[in-house]
Amino acid sequence: MAGNKPQLTKDQAKAYWRATIRLTITLLVIWFAVSYGAGVLLRDILDKVSIGGAPLGFWFAQQGAIYVFLILIAYYCFAMTRLEKRFGLGE
């Protein structure tokens, strides 16, 4: 229905964007820590453990970071839906 969009007050809009940015930055930090930290920076330490015969640092660089990325995308969708409902922006 065009024209029936809920209107947020200026304070509500600021709170919504603050929450959205906080969520996005948090998930990006987790993604960076897992993909770069576990796959590159902590590789030597993690390689002391193996998963299925592959060193853990190698596993994170090749597969683990991708799995975590997919989980973060799913969580982002869940969290944004919850956030939109909280501010009355959901469908």
Instruction: Give the whole-angstrom CA distance, residue 91 versus residue 79.
Output: 15
**CA 87 to centroid of chain Cα atoms:** 20
Encode pLDDT of 70-79 as tens digits. 999 999 999 9
Give the global pTM: 0.79
How much is the average pLDDT of 62-84? 94
Output the pLDDT for position 27. Answer: 97
Residue 3 is predicted with a pLDDT of 58
CB 47 within 8 A of CB 36: no
Mean pLDDT, rounded, of the chain: 89
Please give the DSSP secondary-structure letter assigned to residue 71.
H
Phi-psi domain of 52 (left: phi exceeds 0; alpha: psi -120 through 50; beta: other) = left
Give tens-digit pLDDT for 4-27.
Answer: 667 888 999 999 999 999 999 999
Which residue, 26, 28, 23, is CA-closest to 86? 23
Structure tokens at 60: 């994170």
Q: Give percent above pLDDT 70 in the chain.
A: 93
Both tokens of 17, joined, read 């964007």
